[in-house]
């Protein structure tokens, strides 16, 4: 076991130079620096990134949506885990760095960070499974395709125009705006820019006029909307359930268990 301190990029560059098959990274916040660091990886290397996709993390500039889009378009696999705080860099299932450093320029180069390198194959394999399972979270990390990430651009721009984020020109401090709970008015403004099914699901939720609800209530208000807007879709229940998962990943809903959800809003 050995320790890695700032700059963490030194360890990452050395590890990437020897990477032959796979790199798995868990980092709540991601920036352009990460894509630059992995640019030298051979095309055959499988790349997986577990991160957060809450709209507030992008609007506050704590994380960079365009960097995730680029990572995905260049063949990387993006998985979303709401509330993620762990930072892990795992190479070829043989070595891993568990650290405080995010995959951002500040995290890899400037902030005073500290991490531990694990080289025991059994422990690295155990860590890889923990990452796959979402570190014990009630849901496993969900995949987001590049087209889905691109569809968030307008919603993020709308959110940045709200009073909570207006004038934000520098990356937020971790734990500040990235954790903000939005007002219903802000959510309504944001939802108008979400893609079709997601936007329609938000309309169904607003129609409930309550912050806590069950999935069967969403079916009651959402299925009539789906029949009107998407008459050719033969699985509207499954689609609505999927959209609730997406809204959870976006930081708009909290999953309470047992088919119950909470709208993350300051007031209704």
Fold held by 148-263: Arc Repressor Mutant, subunit A (1.10.10)
Q: Is the pLDDT of residue 11 over 60?
A: yes
Average pLDDT over residues 67-94: 97
pLDDT digits (tens, 9 = 90+) for 12-48: 999 999 999 999 999 999 999 999 999 999 999 999 9
Q: Percentage of the chain with pLDDT > 90?
A: 85
Q: Report CA Rg, the chain.
A: 19
Q: Given the DSSP bridges, would you call strands 22-26 and 46-51 parallel, antiparallel or unpaired?
A: parallel
Residue 117 φ then ψ, to 5°: -90, 130
Residues 98, 194: Cα–Cα separation, whole Å: 35
- Within the chain, all domains assigned CATH 3.30.870.10 are found at 2-142
Residue 165: its pLDDT value, please? Answer: 80
pLDDT digits (tens, 9 = 90+) for 233-243: 999 999 999 99
- Within the chain, all domains assigned CATH 1.10.10.10 are found at 148-263
Residues 208, 122: Cα–Cα separation, whole Å: 49
Distances (CA, A) of 209 to 40, 205, 213, 255, 265: 51, 7, 9, 18, 12
Residues 76, 24: Cα–Cα separation, whole Å: 10
Which residue matches tokens 């991490």? 115
Give the burial class of 215: count Cβ atoms within 10 A of its Cβ; 0-12 exposed, 13-18 middle, 19 or more buried: middle
Residue 175: its pLDDT value, please? Answer: 40
Confidence of residue 130 (pLDDT cuts 50, 70, 90): very high
pLDDT digits (tens, 9 = 90+) for 136-178: 999 899 999 999 999 999 999 999 988 878 655 554 443 444 4
Domain with residues 2-142, CATH architecture: 2-Layer Sandwich (3.30)
Torsion of CA 21, 23, 24, 28, to 10 degrees: -160
Distances (CA, A) of 149 to 55, 112, 120, 194, 249: 11, 31, 36, 11, 12
Average pLDDT over residues 207-220: 96
β-pair partners for 12? none
């Amino acid at each position: 076991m050995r320790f890695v301190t700032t700059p963490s990029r030194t360890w990452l560059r050395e590890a990437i130079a020897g990477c032959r098959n796979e790199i798995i990274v868990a980092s709540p916040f991601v920036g352009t620096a990460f894509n630059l660091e992995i640019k030298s990886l051979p095309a055959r290397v499988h790349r997986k990134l577990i991160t957060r996709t809450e709209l507030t993390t992008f609007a506050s500039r704590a994380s960079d949506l365009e960097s995730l889009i680029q990572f995905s378009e260049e063949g990387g696999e993006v998985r979303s885990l709401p509330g993620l705080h762990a930072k892990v860099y795992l190479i070829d299932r043989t070595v891993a760095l568990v650290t405080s450093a995010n995959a951002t320029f500040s995290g890899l180069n400037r902030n005073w960070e500290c991490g531990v390198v694990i080289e025991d194959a059994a422990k690295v394999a155990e860590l890889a499974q923990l990452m796959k399972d979402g570190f014990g979270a009630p849901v496993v990390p969900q995949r987001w395709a590049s087209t889905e990430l691109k569809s968030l651009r307008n919603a993020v721009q709308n959110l940045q125009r709200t009073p909570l984020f207006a004038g934000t020109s520098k990356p937020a401090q971790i734990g500040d705006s990235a954790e903000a709970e939005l007002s219903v008015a802000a959510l309504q403004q944001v939802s108008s820019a979400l893609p079709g099914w997601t936007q329609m699901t938000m309309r169904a939720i607003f129609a409930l006029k309550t912050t806590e609800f069950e999935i069967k209530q969403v079916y009651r208000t959402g299925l009539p909307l789906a029949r009107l807007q998407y008459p050719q879709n033969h699985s509207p229940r499954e689609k609505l359930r999927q959209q609730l998962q997406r809204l959870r990943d976006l930081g708009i809903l909290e999953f309470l268990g047992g088919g119950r959800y909470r709208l993350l809003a300051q007031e209704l």
